[in-house]
Structure 1
Amino acid sequence: MTAPRLLIGHVMHRRLRPAVHTFVYPVFFVQLPLADLAAACGPLFAVDRGKLLSFHQKDHGPRDGSPLLPWMQSLLRERGLPDDGEIILQCFPRVLGYVFNPVSFWFCHNRAGELIAVLAEVNNTFGGHHGYLLHHPDAAPLLDGEVLQASKVFHVSPFCEVEGGYRFRFDLQRHCPRMRIDYDDTQGELLLTAISGKPQAWSTRALASALLRMPILTLGIMARIHWQALRLWLKGVPFHGRKTDFPLQEPSK
């Protein structure tokens, strides 16, 4: 069984047109094995209850507070995928009870430990959410660094239309694992995004250090989202407004 992990790293975002716009900012995030969430609990971190840092199952999946592991296993079975391996959820934790995850990743393995699917769970600031389930039709393992594609069907930014598609790439065997999501609209490559982090052993000391370095992690994420939106608007990037949200569905291959 994999132990919980803390990762300290950065988020990078680069828009290529009609105005070039780039930012990088520090973050910390967690990777939690769904089969043993209790292993993450300690003096600073709790599951489904309040603490300085916490994880609440109602923030993910069906959003009703029910156990996440059976829900994800059921989703895998619906797609004809193995459900007998370890599933690890990567996300930002709640800080003082508050969280916003632009994207969370569910890494799903088979019994042999091979990665066979990744659920990219995307949230927007309007309260909507959508999951892109990435896998091979024949349930073949996903190779490290392999590019996986999905059509965009969910509104995220008012500065982008709901069109085109994503290219996902997971470089998980690096010293500093990196998750990339690049977006192409109908004109070609538009956005480059990545989150990377250096793994830390799970301990109260490591969690305290991360919290002291970034005590307003979630507030910082939300503030930066709105600050960067203002900068895009000032640069004259077209504003498209809010679009209709879509339920979970399997992406095109």
Structure 2
Amino acid sequence: MTPRLLYGSVVHARHATASNAFSYAMFTLWLPLSQLAEAASPLLGIEKFRLFSFFNRDHGARDGSALLPWIRDILQQHGLSEVTDGEVVLQTMPRLFGFVFNPVSFWYCHDKEGGLRVVLAEVSNTFGERHNYLVAHADRRVIGPEDVLVAQKVFHVSPFFPVRGEYHFSFIRRGERLTVALDYFDGGQKQLTTRLISHEQPLTAGNLLRAWLRCPLLTLGVVYRINWQALRLVIKRVQFFTKPQAPREETT
């Protein structure tokens, strides 16, 4: 596994009252944590300011400490370290001009043979809070492209959905195409469909530049679009849910 650029799109479709759907181009980085330094280029700084930057303080413990020991500790706490003795890869958006907001980043935890065993979804909301959903099969077997992993929703993200129900995760890799499927269910009914569809490219300065020209706002655009879509739902008079206290546990 080597550092890669994942270029594609994010798709959201609301199925609850006042249906709403949108699709935007975006790109993320695919960063094997044991090879993080190799991702650096004239356009991408690792712990340095560039057009794009990646800093440890944006993830994990958020204190700038190394990320691999942090995720290894999480896996050990939850009895998952024996099946995740291979590479850990972080899929996330970099900082653009020093600014970043990642609604969700994914940590892919593999065994020595390269099989995907555990995924940690690192979720952030616009209130500056964060929560981690750790998903794996009960018997710790390899996660396949047809598998669905379920996590109970415990963290406030959108004021237009309550903190209840469950998320259904799927991670589908076919060749150089990676699709992350995230569906939200409440009361047994699908309320929201999200797809992050990406195609792998070498993580070169040239590919980064081309991706930026296609998505010039990237992380800045994410915040703008969140607020724009929220305004559309307000106009449609969708029910508004106040933010509860964040869960005490950082990882569920």
- What band does the TM-score fall into relative to the shorter chain? over 0.9
Q: Matched residue of 1:210: which SS? A: helix
Distance 1:12-1:78 versus aligned 2 partners, 3 A rule: same
In the alignment, what sits opposite 1:149?
A: 150
* Correspondence list, 1:103-142, <5 A: 103-142=104-143
- 1:66 counterpart residue number: 65
Residues 159 and 242, structure 2, Cα contact 8 Å, conserved in 1: yes
Match of 2:23 in 1: 24
Contact 1:108 1:115 in 2 (8 A): yes
Using the size of structure 1 for normalisation, the TM-score is: 0.95
Question: In the TM superposition, what is the alpha-carbon distance from 1:179 to its structure 2 partner?
Answer: 0.2
3-state DSSP of counterpart to 1:207: helix
2 CA distance for matches of 1:190 and 1:216?
28
Could you say what secondary structure the match of 2:164 adopts? Answer: coil
Deviations along 1:166-188, one digit per CA (max 9) or x if unpaired, are: 00011122542110110011262
Contact 1:80 1:139 in 2 (8 A): no
Task: Name the structure 1 match of 2:251.
Answer: 249
Partner of 1:169, secondary structure, is strand
Read off the aligned partner of 2:143 and give its amino acid letter. Answer: L
Q: Residue 223 of structure 1 aligns to which amino acid in structure 2?
A: Y
Alpha-carbon distance in 2 for matches of 1:17, 1:79: 34
User: Residue 139 of structure 2: SS of its match in structure 1?
Assistant: coil
Aligned length: 249
Segments of structure 1 that go 5 or more residues without pairing to the other structure are none
Who is 1:188 aligned against?
A: 189
Identity, % of aligned positions: 45
On the 8 A contact 2:121/2:133 being kept in 1, the answer is: yes
Letter of the 1:186 partner, please give it.
G
SS where residue 174 of structure 2 aligns?
Answer: coil
AA partner of residue 251 (structure 2): Q
AA of the residue aligned to 1:24: S
SS of the counterpart of 2:212? helix
Q: Are 1:161 and 2:162 an aligned pair?
A: yes
- Aligned pairs (5 A) from 1:46-61: 46-61=45-60
Secondary structure of 1:29's match? strand
Aligned to 2:202: 201
Structure 1 residue 47: deviation in Å? 1.1
Amino acid in structure 1 at the alignment position of 2:37: A
RMSD of the alignment, in Å?
A: 1.2
Show CA shifts across 1:73-105 (max 9, x none): 111112222342100000011101111101100
1:45 is matched with: 44
Deviation at residue 241 of structure 1 after TM alignment:
2.1
Q: 2:18, 2:55 → 1: CA distance?
A: 38
SS of the residue aligned with 1:75?
helix
The answer to whether residue 180 in structure 2 is matched with residue 179 in structure 1 is yes
Instruction: Give 5+ residue unaligned stretches, structure 2.
Output: none
Letter paired with 1:218: T
Contact 2:144 2:172 in 1 (8 A): no
User: How many angstroms apart in 2 are the aligned matches of 1:209 and 1:172?
Assistant: 24
CA deviations on 1:160-211 (whole Å, 9 max, x unpaired) are: 1000110001112254211011001126210001111111111111011111
